[in-house]
Amino acid sequence: MGSVPQIPYYNQNIFPETENAVKDHLIIFDTTLRDGEQSPGASMTKEEKVRIARQLERMRVDVIEAGFPAASNGDFEAVKAVADCIKDSTVCGLARATEADIKRAGEALKGANSGRIHTFIATSPIHMEKKLRMSPEQVVEQAVKAVKWAHRYTGNVEFSPEDAGRSDVTFLCRVLEAVIEAGATTLNIPDTVGYTMPEQFGNLIRTLRERIPNSDKVVFSVHCHNDLGLAVANSLSAVMNGARQVECTINGLGERAGNAALEEIVMAVRTRQDFFPCDTHIDATHIVSASKLVSGITGFPVQPNKAIVGANAFAHESGIHQDGVLKHRETYEIMRAEDVGWGANKLLLGKHSGRNAFRSRLAELGIALGSEEALNTTFMRFKELADKKHDIFDEDLYALVSDETMTLQEQYKLLSLTAHSETGETPHAKIVIAEGGKELQAESDGSGPVDATFRAIEKILASGADLQLYSVNNITSGTDSQGEVTVRLQKSGRIVNGHGADTDIVVASAKAYLSALNKLHSKLKQAHPQV
Ligand code: KIV
Ligand code: ZN
């Protein structure tokens, strides 16, 4: 048997030719706030987007795609708010290849330190013919015009030929050469429907770089969807073939099966520095908190066996593995849990913590509550929580603030809830809610206390919404942890997710149900960029 390696396995170079190579910068373009938000039920408020954007900035994400400003006034305001507060990352707005969309994106990005407009038009035969009803000539012309319009607002212009994975390569070369000539600085190649295979997608990137005469003037980017579970593999194959920007999302959130997961791209490239000719500037120690933040805000739980950010990603259950890890960590671990932020949720506050400690921890977490009054009410709720729960972690604070910002915008508020369940008895709930200035109450039986609570709410509000998903997760560990409940409701073709957190999961459930009803009540329909 050979001797035990003295340096971590992942730092040993098994490809010595990359040893002294100067590494390129791999640009990380996060689209959680745009493509991620296109997941049904994942829509976020302006405040939630700002909170996630700050976390992405803290992680040193290079480009944050903050939304699609032409979708609705709400989207415009959210992109503007992100552009106004983010200083270190470039903030990007998506626009279809129309003058009106591009103008809207340009206006939303006015306050950005560094802004980018990302414009796109489809280039595959099926999209051009069936969706756009445009000829290939018209598409080239529109793409060139779009890039020139974007240049009125910024020199940082990204162009995407939508559905590139199913486009004709010769036609792609023609469009892309023309948009480079028009001033595009990044060419993003999307596998919009997640159709390509890793080798094929890598070859596509290499072919485009080789065949487009002015390709050396731009950065090649990729944007892969996960319909066949290949988004990360396709993106990495593209990187090996010269792509130097990857578009990705936290937890792989995104349209349908999602996008390439940021945490997997970053850690694959970092762990296999012996293999990749580039590296990112990401501070990976913020990955786990970013994952928790996005999961908490969207209500999309992270599966336990998810790479990097799943609860079991670094847990060794089997005896053989545990024994190996105890004897020598690198027998079964290729990354260190702490390098991606596991264990960083240190105990921070308790019931004796004062207002200043509370305020400064929120500031460290990048949470701005907006006013002294909001700080005071959130601090009071923190004290109530600290009475029930001994140790307060960062995750508890995120949940508390998320609850508080939702409460401020609510039409329906929970005032009180009594739920009763006992072996052999029918569960029963009594609820009092406020709607505007009125107090309304109802009671109901149910198959369990949560069911009884939801029935009581429906007796008052008669929303007629269809419950599509109900899930409970504990925010931290231990039975005194807050339960975080997600409720997904559908009504008239609209899907919304509501969430609520409390140490009592029946109360958390009531909050989540009301939060979903508040969203159904308030949110205007957004335009979808690709439809
Ligand atoms: O998947 C896709 O093609 C997109 C584009 C807008 C880049 O999201
Ligand atoms: Zn996409």
pLDDT value of residue 195: 98
Q: What's the 441 CA to ligand 2 centre distance in angstroms? A: 44
The set of residues, in sequence order, having a beta carbon less than 8 Å from that of 140 and lying 6+ positions away, is 174, 175, 178
Q: How far is CA 429 from each of CA 79, 105, 162, 483, rounded to the nearest angstrom?
A: 41, 48, 51, 19
Joined together, the tokens standing for residue 216 give 């050396």
pLDDT value of residue 247: 98
Parts of the chain with a pLDDT under 50? 1-12
Q: What's the 162 CA to ligand 1 centre distance in angstroms? A: 6
The set of residues, in sequence order, having a beta carbon less than 8 Å from that of 508 and lying 6+ positions away, is 472, 482, 483, 484, 485, 500, 501, 502
Ligand (nearest to CA of 530): 1
State which of 96, 172, 192 you would mutate to test the pocket of ligand 1, scoring each by most atoms of that ligand within 8 A of its C-beta: 192
Cβ–ligand 1 contact at 190 (below 6 Å): yes
Cβ–ligand 1 contact at 35 (below 6 Å): yes
pLDDT value of residue 493: 77
Question: Distance between CA atoms of 280 and 269, rounded to whole angstroms?
Answer: 8
What one-letter code names the amino acid at 215?
Answer: S
pLDDT value of residue 316: 64
What one-letter code names the amino acid at 247?
Answer: E
Architecture of domain 24-298: Alpha-Beta Barrel (3.20)
- Asked if 115 contacts 90 with a C-beta cutoff of 8 angstroms, the reply is yes
In three-state secondary structure terms, 485 is strand
Residue 160's CB is within 10 A of a number of other CB atoms, namely 26
Question: Distance between CA atoms of 348 and 344, rounded to whole angstroms?
Answer: 11
Give the predicted TM-score (pTM) of the model: 0.82
The residue whose C-alpha atom lies closest to atom 8 belonging to ligand 1 is: 35
Residue 373 buriedness (CB in 10 A; 0-12 / 13-18 / 19+):
exposed
Strand pairing class (483-491; 494-502) = antiparallel
State which of 39, 68, 120 you would mutate to test the pocket of ligand 1, scoring each by most atoms of that ligand within 8 A of its C-beta: 120
Q: Name the residue ranges covered by the structural domains of the chain.
A: 24-298, 314-341, 347-404, 410-525
User: What are the DSSP calls for 72-123, one per residue?
Assistant: -HHHHHHHHHHHHH--SSEEEEEEESSHHHHHHHHHHTTT-SSEEEEEEEE-
Question: Distance between CA atoms of 498 and 488, rounded to whole angstroms?
Answer: 6
- Asked if 340 contacts 288 with a C-beta cutoff of 8 angstroms, the reply is yes
218-256 pLDDT per residue, tens? 999 999 999 999 999 999 999 999 999 999 999 999 999
pLDDT value of residue 318: 58
CA 162 to chain centre: 21
Closest CA to 398 of 294, 468, 471, 260: 294
Joined together, the tokens standing for residue 295 give 């999961």
- Asked if 408 contacts 373 with a C-beta cutoff of 8 angstroms, the reply is no
Cβ–ligand 1 contact at 223 (below 6 Å): yes
Question: Distance between CA atoms of 456 and 512, rounded to whole angstroms?
Answer: 14
Let me know if the fold of 24-298 is the same as that of 410-525: no
In three-state secondary structure terms, 320 is helix
Spell out the CATH class of 410-525.
alpha beta
286-299 pLDDT per residue, tens? 999 899 889 888 88
Strand pairing class (115-122; 90-96) = parallel
Question: Distance between CA atoms of 297 and 45, rounded to whole angstroms?
Answer: 9
- Asked if 248 contacts 27 with a C-beta cutoff of 8 angstroms, the reply is no
Question: Distance between CA atoms of 223 and 252, rounded to whole angstroms?
Answer: 12
Q: How far is CA 373 from each of CA 376, 377, 392, 402, 446, rounded to the nearest angstrom?
A: 5, 6, 22, 16, 38
The residue whose C-alpha atom lies closest to atom 1 belonging to ligand 1 is: 192
In three-state secondary structure terms, 418 is strand
State which of 31, 34, 35 you would mutate to test the pocket of ligand 1, scoring each by most atoms of that ligand within 8 A of its C-beta: 35
